[in-house]
Chain A
Amino acid sequence: QLQLQESGPGLVKPSETLSLTCTVSGGSISSSSYYWGWIRQPPGKGLEWIGSIYYSGSTYYNPSLKSRVTISVDTSKNQFSLKLSSVTAADTAVYYCARGTPAGYGMDVWGQGTTVTVSS
């Protein structure tokens, strides 16, 4: 059974870089059929797609965050990572990693989410 687990600091200072890793277990990240994504949810608000990556390394970012986001994949560790630079309080959110299915059939496996607070 595929599982995803987010990890990283829960507190980041303003202007610094937020770094999170998603570890995939129970399956391989190197499937050409699936993609891997990051989604966030500010307190009391809705879901916002941050970006996605294929195991090949091809990346796709939300235009509103593109200048600050980098997503990478490490197939040897079965992990993919998120870096968000120059963070502000507006980046405080629960960050989820998830698997995207072929043919646009939704994101079918999600991590439990990790809370990141931006504060000095």
Chain B
Amino acid sequence: QSVLTQPPSVSAAPGQKVTISCSGSSSNIGSKFVSWYQQLPGTTPKLLIYEDNKRPSGIPDRFSGSKSGTSATLGITGLQTGDEADYYCGTWDISLSFGVFGGGTKLTVL
């Protein structure tokens, strides 16, 4: 199982807001920045959030990131059917000395 824990799935209606949690420990989320990735069906992962809450150029402000202690959260507002994808959190683990990802969360826009 993954070092970082995400819910397997979340769902919400178009136009609504959803949050995806990522739980870790003091050796990863608690001490290192978190990134978030979106993987649309059949495509490669895309960076959505870095340094906990920053968006790369071209990522709409509907996507936001936050962190508190050893947990991080991805928020998506104004949900669209095109947001249906798998979402992953990732960071570095200072005890393991390698990068870690969450198990992924499948977002369904009903």
Is the pairing of A and B real?
Answer: no
Interface residue ranges, B against A (CB under 8 Å): none
